[in-house]
Amino acid sequence: MTDETTPPTPGLAHEWVEQRIDDRDDWARRRQKGIPNDRQLMVVACMDERIPLEDVLGIELGDAHVFRNAGGKVTDDVIRSAALTTNFFDTEEILVVKHTDCGMMSAPDDAVVEGLEHACGGDLDSVSLDPSLPSLNIGDASLADWVRMTDDIDDACEEQVALLQNHPFIPDDVEVRGYIYEVESGALRRPHERLSEEVNTRE
């Protein structure tokens, strides 16, 4: 949007006002008008509060569709959202952002399963995974499969990228990349490229 604090050029006040009106209309009705987000970008990231996505990706309001969940996992709802934004909103790029010290690596699968079973009284059959689809359930999968804890954050990042790259709902020309945000350094890196391992060795 146009910077509303910028004063109008002398003699052209009406043009400045008209531009503000047009910009506001585009902003408010961009879906109706078929206007994509400013960077034609979707970001899939963990919900962890320590990841400053705007800073590390250089984005701001209006630049991207951002989807955050526990672990930054490519779930069915991520696929649903990615399919819509790439096929109907002109999104050309998807970034998957994982991070170190992720909560999805903080407990063994059996402890997580036990905790969730306790939360629902042990009756998994009565648990609805999607309120809009009450018949949707875990089926033959286990609760651990549904939660999907993580053993290696770098491997997980590459796997999530591959899921998006290979999914039939995602157009082949959409660029999909994955990065790791290091909470200890405050920087992004590529998977399996831990700079500390390179700078702290004789070789």
Distance from CA of residue 68 to its chain's centroid? 5
* 95-122 pLDDT, tens digit each: 999 999 998 887 777 777 788 778 877 7
Q: pLDDT per residue over 4-36, tens digit each?
A: 666 666 668 888 899 999 999 999 999 999 999
Instruction: Write down the domain spans for the chain.
Output: 1-35, 37-107+149-203, 108-148
pTM of the model: 0.84
Lookup: tokens for 62:
């209006």
- Residue 1: CA atoms inside 13 Å, Cβ hemisphere, count? 18
- In the CATH scheme, what architecture does the domain 37-107+149-203 have? 3-Layer(aba) Sandwich (3.40)
With a CB cutoff of 8 Å and minimum separation 6, the contacts of 170 are 79, 82, 83, 86, 94, 164, 176
Q: Which residues pair with 95 in a beta bridge?
A: 43, 177
